[in-house]
Amino acid sequence: MGEFELIERYFKRPARQAAVGIGDDCAVWTPRPGHQLAFSADMLVEGRHFLSTVSPRSLGHKALAVNLSDLAASGATPRAFLLSLSLPRADEDWLSDFSQGLLALADAHCCELIGGDTTRGPLNIAITVMGEIPHGQAILRSTAQTGDDIYVSGHLGDARLALEVFRGHLSVPQAVFDLARARLETPIPRMSLGTSLRGLATAMADVSDGLLGDLGHILKASGVGAQLNLPALSQLMLTRQAWDCPRECWLRCVLTGGDDYELVFTAPPALQHAVEAATLGSGTPITRIGRITSDSGLILMDDNGNVVRPAFSSFDHFA
Ligand code: ADP
Ligand code: MG
């Protein structure tokens, strides 16, 4: 099967919102009046970002999910994406499952595949997403204010738990592993929450490299610090309800786990009810985990008001 037949069979569908879709030298897009375009790119490399044991369907889902998560973190509505694929061979079963996982998530968010590139080589999936935001309403990392509450959506740490089990560092009951594995392999990008926080959140980021690292980006960009509440963090891991995870384990997973694809955001205490209403409307649970401080740095407080200093930093590709 040649490159063009492959694209035609697995990825090309009639253009919907695009002025020009797959098949020409460039895709062409007409933005809606009064909107700005938001772009983000994320690449998945085998062995680095996913294990060879993952199903192609989950991989297709995750490749787009991690990109959509960046749009959510800016408050953008997804519109279109480009798919650049490097494949060792044209395996029809693999391509069929991969494209189904990818396009099912794309359809769920009306995000149209408008082009890309296909080449032979080591398995590597690079996606560029484009979204729209009403003019001037993008939610940045650099605008958190002293005194803001800090919230996080959904659950943290479970994806890391699954990874530790895959690596043979840990063993957990099967039901716990199944739950954690689903969080690792098929993350749910928080699109609806992201857009509902426009005009409410002062700053936002998605949690892809661990809470400490990604909240750290907000703190650095905004020139502020944070005080986090340990009892609130202890509620964040989904699998903790089904398994007695040791404290050292859940604390590390929640703070530095990575691959969570949740949203961490800040908002003034006066907007707490509006924030809660927005999250109810989006069907996404949130937890208030702390407060922005004028002193730089990040402090963790335990149940007794004592400062805790965890002896680990967030996962970093270049560490
Ligand atoms: P060019 O040689 O002009 O770069 P290509 O021959 O690479 O174009 O691709 C032909 C068309 O197919 C283009 O519209 C391109 O965007 C699209 N395309 C290529 N690979 C993919 C892919 N993996 N998914 C979606 N569209 C693709
Ligand atoms: Mg090309």
Nearest CA residue ID for atom 14, ligand 1: 23
Q: CA-to-CA distance for 79 and 67, rounded, in angstroms?
A: 12
Beta strands in the chain (DSSP E): 35-45, 77-87, 112-120, 124-134, 149-153, 203-207, 225-229, 262-267, 286-293, 297-301, 307-308
Q: Which two tokens stand for residue 105?
A: 């998530």
- Identify the pLDDT of residue 241: 83
Cβ of residue 13 lying under 6 Å from some atom of ligand 1: no
Do 286 and 232 lie in one domain? The reply is: yes
- Identify the pLDDT of residue 308: 85
- Identify the pLDDT of residue 317: 42
Compute, in angstroms, the gap from residue 62 CA to the centroid of ligand 1. Answer: 21
Do 165 and 301 lie in one domain? The reply is: yes
Closest ligand 1 atom to 22 CA? 14
Do 32 and 95 lie in one domain? The reply is: yes
Do 122 and 157 lie in one domain? The reply is: no
Q: Which domain holds residue 157?
A: 149-308
Cβ of residue 2 lying under 6 Å from some atom of ligand 1: no
Compute, in angstroms, the gap from residue 76 CA to the centroid of ligand 1. Answer: 25
Do 191 and 128 lie in one domain? The reply is: no
Establish if 313 belongs to a structural domain: no
Do 123 and 157 lie in one domain? The reply is: no
Q: CA-to-CA distance for 274 and 266, rounded, in angstroms?
A: 13
Establish if 9 belongs to a structural domain: yes
| Strands 225-229 vs 297-301: parallel, antiparallel or unpaired | parallel
Q: 301 near 230, Cβ under 8 Å?
A: yes
Q: CA-to-CA distance for 59 and 259, rounded, in angstroms?
A: 13
Packing angle, helices 158-166 and 247-256, rounded to 10: 110
Closest ligand 1 atom to 85 CA? 23
pLDDT along the chain (319 residues), means of 10: 92 91 96 97 93 94 98 98 96 97 97 97 97 98 98 97 94 96 97 98 97 96 96 94 87 94 98 96 96 94 85 47
Q: Which residue has the tokens 């063993």?
A: 171
Examine the fold and report which residue of 80, 108, 134 is the final residue of a domain before the chain moves on. Answer: 134
CATH number of 222's domain: 3.90.650.10
Do 10 and 127 lie in one domain? The reply is: yes
Do 291 and 185 lie in one domain? The reply is: yes
Q: CA-to-CA distance for 129 and 67, rounded, in angstroms?
A: 6
Do 168 and 113 lie in one domain? The reply is: no
Number of domains in the chain: 2
